[in-house]
Protein backbone atom coordinates (compact mmCIF):
# COMPACT_ATOMS: atom_id res chain seq x y z
CA UNK A 1 0.00 0.00 0.00
CA UNK A 2 1.40 3.44 -0.88
CA UNK A 3 2.25 5.79 2.00
CA UNK A 4 2.50 8.96 -0.12
CA UNK A 5 -0.19 11.55 0.58
CA UNK A 6 -2.83 11.62 -2.06
CA UNK A 7 -3.60 14.90 -3.73
CA UNK A 8 -7.06 16.30 -3.34
CA UNK A 9 -9.38 16.06 -6.28
CA UNK A 10 -8.46 18.54 -9.00
CA UNK A 11 -5.05 19.32 -7.47
CA UNK A 12 -1.75 18.24 -9.04
CA UNK A 13 0.40 15.66 -7.30
CA UNK A 14 2.98 17.31 -4.97
CA UNK A 15 6.43 17.41 -6.60
CA UNK A 16 5.11 17.04 -10.13
CA UNK A 17 5.81 19.59 -12.84
CA UNK A 18 2.21 20.90 -12.81
CA UNK A 19 2.52 21.41 -9.06
CA UNK A 20 5.79 23.32 -9.47
CA UNK A 21 4.33 25.52 -12.19
CA UNK A 22 1.30 26.18 -10.04
CA UNK A 23 3.58 27.18 -7.13
CA UNK A 24 5.59 29.55 -9.31
CA UNK A 25 2.37 31.02 -10.65
CA UNK A 26 1.15 31.77 -7.14
CA UNK A 27 4.49 33.44 -6.28
CA UNK A 28 4.75 35.32 -9.58
CA UNK A 29 4.19 38.76 -8.09
CA UNK A 30 7.08 38.40 -5.64
CA UNK A 31 9.32 36.86 -8.31
CA UNK A 32 8.64 39.68 -10.72
CA UNK A 33 9.25 42.26 -8.00
CA UNK A 34 12.59 40.68 -7.13
CA UNK A 35 13.82 40.73 -10.73
CA UNK A 36 12.64 44.30 -11.27
CA UNK A 37 14.30 45.61 -8.09
CA UNK A 38 17.59 43.72 -8.47
CA UNK A 39 18.04 44.30 -12.19
CA UNK A 40 16.90 47.89 -11.89
CA UNK A 41 19.38 48.50 -9.07
CA UNK A 42 22.16 46.91 -11.10
CA UNK A 43 21.33 49.07 -14.10
CA UNK A 44 21.33 52.20 -11.94
CA UNK A 45 24.68 51.17 -10.48
CA UNK A 46 26.22 50.61 -13.90
CA UNK A 47 24.97 53.99 -15.16
CA UNK A 48 25.75 56.17 -12.13
CA UNK A 49 28.87 54.63 -10.58
CA UNK A 50 32.01 56.68 -11.38
CA UNK A 51 33.82 55.22 -14.37
CA UNK A 52 37.29 53.76 -13.89
CA UNK A 53 39.71 53.79 -16.82
CA UNK A 54 42.79 51.62 -17.30
CA UNK A 55 46.10 52.70 -18.82
CA UNK A 56 49.01 50.33 -19.35
CA UNK A 57 52.67 50.63 -20.26
CA UNK A 58 54.43 47.60 -21.74
CA UNK A 59 58.21 47.62 -21.44
CA UNK A 60 61.26 45.43 -21.39
CA UNK A 61 64.06 45.47 -18.85
CA UNK A 62 67.34 46.83 -20.18
CA UNK A 63 70.04 44.21 -19.69
CA UNK A 64 72.68 45.53 -17.30
CA UNK A 65 76.16 45.92 -18.72
CA UNK A 66 79.21 46.26 -16.48
CA UNK A 67 81.41 47.04 -19.49
CA UNK A 68 83.82 44.18 -18.83
CA UNK A 69 84.45 45.25 -15.25
CA UNK A 70 83.74 41.80 -13.86
CA UNK A 71 86.23 40.14 -16.20
CA UNK A 72 88.85 42.76 -15.51
CA UNK A 73 88.62 42.33 -11.74
CA UNK A 74 88.74 38.58 -12.23
CA UNK A 75 91.88 38.88 -14.32
CA UNK A 76 93.63 40.82 -11.58
CA UNK A 77 91.82 39.05 -8.77
CA UNK A 78 94.85 38.57 -6.49
CA UNK A 79 96.18 42.08 -6.88
CA UNK A 80 92.66 43.53 -6.62
CA UNK A 81 92.15 41.81 -3.29
CA UNK A 82 95.45 43.20 -2.00
CA UNK A 83 94.40 46.68 -3.04
CA UNK A 84 90.98 46.28 -1.46
CA UNK A 85 88.94 46.55 -4.68
CA UNK A 86 88.04 42.89 -5.03
CA UNK A 87 84.54 43.54 -3.73
CA UNK A 88 83.98 46.61 -5.85
CA UNK A 89 80.36 47.05 -6.93
CA UNK A 90 79.75 46.36 -10.59
CA UNK A 91 76.70 48.58 -10.66
CA UNK A 92 73.31 47.13 -11.46
CA UNK A 93 73.95 43.41 -11.87
CA UNK A 94 70.45 41.96 -12.17
CA UNK A 95 67.18 42.60 -13.95
CA UNK A 96 64.91 42.33 -10.92
CA UNK A 97 66.07 45.53 -9.22
CA UNK A 98 64.22 47.94 -11.56
CA UNK A 99 60.96 46.00 -11.11
CA UNK A 100 61.44 45.98 -7.34
CA UNK A 101 62.03 49.75 -7.35
CA UNK A 102 59.02 50.46 -9.56
CA UNK A 103 56.67 48.36 -7.41
CA UNK A 104 58.04 49.49 -4.04
CA UNK A 105 56.07 51.50 -1.49
CA UNK A 106 58.93 53.99 -1.18
CA UNK A 107 58.73 54.76 -4.90
CA UNK A 108 54.95 55.17 -4.61
CA UNK A 109 55.35 57.55 -1.67
CA UNK A 110 57.78 59.77 -3.57
CA UNK A 111 55.56 59.77 -6.66
CA UNK A 112 52.52 60.76 -4.57
CA UNK A 113 54.40 63.58 -2.86
CA UNK A 114 56.03 64.92 -6.03
CA UNK A 115 52.70 65.03 -7.89
CA UNK A 116 50.58 66.13 -4.90
CA UNK A 117 48.20 63.19 -5.27
CA UNK A 118 46.84 63.05 -1.72
CA UNK A 119 43.81 65.27 -2.55
CA UNK A 120 43.21 63.10 -5.64
CA UNK A 121 43.30 59.90 -3.60
CA UNK A 122 41.00 61.23 -0.86
CA UNK A 123 38.68 63.73 -2.59
CA UNK A 124 35.89 63.41 -0.01
CA UNK A 125 38.20 64.64 2.74
CA UNK A 126 39.64 67.52 0.71
CA UNK A 127 38.16 71.00 0.39
CA UNK A 128 39.00 71.99 -3.17
CA UNK A 129 37.96 75.63 -2.71
CA UNK A 130 39.91 76.21 0.50
CA UNK A 131 42.82 74.01 -0.64
CA UNK A 132 42.93 72.21 2.68
CA UNK A 133 41.62 69.14 4.47
CA UNK A 134 38.05 69.46 5.68
CA UNK A 135 38.93 68.30 9.20
CA UNK A 136 41.48 69.79 11.58
CA UNK A 137 41.67 66.58 13.56
CA UNK A 138 45.02 64.91 12.75
CA UNK A 139 43.39 61.52 13.25
CA UNK A 140 40.97 62.22 10.39
CA UNK A 141 43.56 63.62 7.98
CA UNK A 142 44.97 60.96 5.62
CA UNK A 143 48.68 60.30 6.02
CA UNK A 144 51.18 59.46 3.30
CA UNK A 145 50.97 55.88 4.55
CA UNK A 146 47.23 55.88 3.84
CA UNK A 147 47.92 57.27 0.38
CA UNK A 148 50.53 54.61 -0.39
CA UNK A 149 48.18 51.86 0.78
CA UNK A 150 45.38 53.06 -1.51
CA UNK A 151 47.71 53.81 -4.42
CA UNK A 152 49.44 50.42 -4.38
CA UNK A 153 46.23 48.54 -3.57
CA UNK A 154 43.79 49.89 -6.15
CA UNK A 155 45.57 52.31 -8.51
CA UNK A 156 49.00 50.96 -9.51
CA UNK A 157 49.95 47.39 -10.34
CA UNK A 158 53.24 46.01 -11.73
CA UNK A 159 53.37 42.57 -13.36
CA UNK A 160 56.42 40.75 -14.67
CA UNK A 161 55.47 38.20 -17.32
CA UNK A 162 57.68 35.18 -16.80
CA UNK A 163 57.35 33.79 -20.34
CA UNK A 164 58.21 36.96 -22.24
CA UNK A 165 60.16 38.88 -19.61
CA UNK A 166 58.05 41.96 -20.32
CA UNK A 167 56.91 44.29 -17.54
CA UNK A 168 53.37 45.68 -17.57
CA UNK A 169 52.57 48.74 -15.47
CA UNK A 170 48.82 49.22 -14.98
CA UNK A 171 47.08 52.32 -13.63
CA UNK A 172 43.35 52.31 -12.89
CA UNK A 173 41.82 55.74 -12.30
CA UNK A 174 38.60 57.66 -12.78
CA UNK A 175 40.28 60.32 -14.95
CA UNK A 176 41.40 58.67 -18.17
CA UNK A 177 43.96 61.36 -19.06
CA UNK A 178 45.56 61.23 -15.63
CA UNK A 179 45.68 57.43 -15.75
CA UNK A 180 47.80 57.54 -18.91
CA UNK A 181 49.93 60.44 -17.70
CA UNK A 182 50.66 58.82 -14.34
CA UNK A 183 51.63 55.53 -15.96
CA UNK A 184 54.10 57.14 -18.35
CA UNK A 185 55.42 59.43 -15.62
CA UNK A 186 56.13 56.51 -13.28
CA UNK A 187 58.20 54.75 -15.93
CA UNK A 188 60.14 57.94 -16.66
CA UNK A 189 60.72 58.49 -12.96
CA UNK A 190 61.90 54.90 -12.44
CA UNK A 191 64.40 55.30 -15.29
CA UNK A 192 65.60 58.59 -13.84
CA UNK A 193 66.01 57.11 -10.36
CA UNK A 194 67.93 54.07 -11.62
CA UNK A 195 70.09 56.37 -13.75
CA UNK A 196 70.88 58.62 -10.78
CA UNK A 197 71.75 55.60 -8.65
CA UNK A 198 74.16 54.29 -11.29
CA UNK A 199 75.87 57.68 -11.61
CA UNK A 200 76.21 58.07 -7.84
CA UNK A 201 77.65 54.57 -7.44
CA UNK A 202 80.09 55.07 -10.31
CA UNK A 203 81.28 58.41 -8.90
CA UNK A 204 81.88 56.86 -5.49
CA UNK A 205 83.78 54.02 -7.16
CA UNK A 206 85.95 56.48 -9.09
CA UNK A 207 86.82 58.41 -5.94
CA UNK A 208 87.70 55.20 -4.13
CA UNK A 209 89.75 53.85 -7.05
CA UNK A 210 91.74 57.06 -7.47
CA UNK A 211 92.58 56.96 -3.77
CA UNK A 212 93.69 53.33 -4.02
CA UNK A 213 95.77 54.02 -7.11
CA UNK A 214 97.58 56.85 -5.34
CA UNK A 215 98.50 54.50 -2.49
CA UNK A 216 99.72 51.62 -4.66
CA UNK A 217 103.30 51.24 -5.92
CA UNK A 218 102.53 48.19 -8.10
CA UNK A 219 102.37 49.46 -11.68
CA UNK A 220 100.26 46.55 -13.09
CA UNK A 221 97.72 47.12 -10.38
CA UNK A 222 97.69 50.88 -11.00
CA UNK A 223 97.08 50.18 -14.69
CA UNK A 224 94.21 47.82 -13.82
CA UNK A 225 92.69 50.40 -11.47
CA UNK A 226 92.81 53.11 -14.14
CA UNK A 227 91.13 50.72 -16.59
CA UNK A 228 88.35 50.21 -14.05
CA UNK A 229 88.08 53.98 -13.64
CA UNK A 230 87.73 54.30 -17.40
CA UNK A 231 84.87 51.78 -17.38
CA UNK A 232 83.15 53.66 -14.56
CA UNK A 233 83.48 56.92 -16.50
CA UNK A 234 81.83 55.24 -19.49
CA UNK A 235 79.07 54.06 -17.16
CA UNK A 236 78.41 57.64 -16.09
CA UNK A 237 78.41 58.87 -19.69
CA UNK A 238 76.01 56.12 -20.75
CA UNK A 239 73.65 56.79 -17.84
CA UNK A 240 73.52 60.49 -18.64
CA UNK A 241 72.68 60.09 -22.31
CA UNK A 242 70.38 57.07 -22.21
CA UNK A 243 66.88 57.96 -21.03
CA UNK A 244 65.61 54.36 -21.07
CA UNK A 245 68.27 53.30 -18.62
CA UNK A 246 66.36 50.54 -16.78
CA UNK A 247 63.13 50.15 -18.80
CA UNK A 248 62.77 50.33 -22.57
CA UNK A 249 59.20 51.34 -23.38
CA UNK A 250 57.64 49.15 -26.04
CA UNK A 251 54.06 50.38 -25.84
CA UNK A 252 53.45 53.61 -23.90
CA UNK A 253 50.20 54.31 -22.11
CA UNK A 254 47.51 55.85 -24.31
CA UNK A 255 44.51 57.83 -23.12
CA UNK A 256 41.54 55.40 -23.18
CA UNK A 257 38.44 56.34 -25.13
CA UNK A 258 35.67 57.89 -23.04
CA UNK A 259 33.37 54.92 -23.68
CA UNK A 260 36.07 52.30 -23.03
CA UNK A 261 36.02 52.38 -19.24
CA UNK A 262 37.36 49.40 -17.34
CA UNK A 263 34.74 49.46 -14.56
CA UNK A 264 31.85 49.12 -14.12
CA UNK A 265 31.29 46.69 -16.98
CA UNK A 266 27.61 46.49 -17.84
CA UNK A 267 27.71 42.85 -18.92
CA UNK A 268 29.38 41.69 -15.70
CA UNK A 269 27.14 43.79 -13.45
CA UNK A 270 23.94 42.62 -15.15
CA UNK A 271 25.13 39.00 -15.21
CA UNK A 272 25.81 39.02 -11.47
CA UNK A 273 22.50 40.78 -10.85
CA UNK A 274 20.68 38.10 -12.87
CA UNK A 275 22.26 35.35 -10.77
CA UNK A 276 21.39 37.14 -7.52
CA UNK A 277 17.81 37.75 -8.67
CA UNK A 278 17.42 34.09 -9.65
CA UNK A 279 18.68 32.97 -6.25
CA UNK A 280 16.37 35.33 -4.39
CA UNK A 281 13.43 34.32 -6.58
CA UNK A 282 14.13 30.64 -5.83
CA UNK A 283 14.22 31.38 -2.12
CA UNK A 284 10.97 33.32 -2.46
CA UNK A 285 9.24 30.41 -4.21
CA UNK A 286 10.53 27.93 -1.60
CA UNK A 287 9.39 30.24 1.18
CA UNK A 288 5.96 30.52 -0.42
CA UNK A 289 5.72 26.74 -0.64
CA UNK A 290 6.71 26.25 3.01
CA UNK A 291 4.29 28.94 4.12
CA UNK A 292 1.49 27.23 2.19
CA UNK A 293 2.33 23.93 3.89
CA UNK A 294 2.27 25.56 7.32
CA UNK A 295 -1.07 27.20 6.59
CA UNK A 296 -2.51 23.96 5.25
CA UNK A 297 -1.33 22.06 8.33
CA UNK A 298 -2.89 24.66 10.59
CA UNK A 299 -6.20 24.48 8.74
CA UNK A 300 -6.16 20.68 8.91
CA UNK A 301 -5.45 20.74 12.64
CA UNK A 302 -8.29 23.22 13.23
CA UNK A 303 -10.64 21.08 11.14
CA UNK A 304 -9.83 17.94 13.16
CA UNK A 305 -10.54 19.73 16.42
CA UNK A 306 -13.94 20.66 15.18
86-112 residue pLDDT tens: 444 445 556 788 999 999 999 999 999
Q: For the segment 168-205, what is each residue's pLDDT rounded down to a tens digit?
A: 999 999 999 999 999 999 999 999 999 999 899 889 88
Q: What is the pLDDT of residue 37?
A: 93
Q: Which has the minimum average pLDDT: 138-147, 251-260, 269-278, 292-301?
A: 292-301
In the predicted model, is pLDDT for residue 235 greater than 50?
yes
Q: Which of 17-26, 48-57, 213-222, 281-290 has the lowest mean pLDDT?
A: 17-26
Angle at 252 between CA 248 and CA 258, to 5 degrees: 170
Amino acid sequence: MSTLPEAAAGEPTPGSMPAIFALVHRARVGVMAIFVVVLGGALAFALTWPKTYRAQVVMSIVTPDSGGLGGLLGQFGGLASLAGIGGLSLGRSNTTEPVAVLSSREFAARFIQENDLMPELFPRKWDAEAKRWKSDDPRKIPTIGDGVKKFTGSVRRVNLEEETGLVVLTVDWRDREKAARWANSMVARANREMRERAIAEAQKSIEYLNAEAAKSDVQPLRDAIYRVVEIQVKTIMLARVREDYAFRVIDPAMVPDANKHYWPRGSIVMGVALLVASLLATLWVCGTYLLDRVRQGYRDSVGLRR
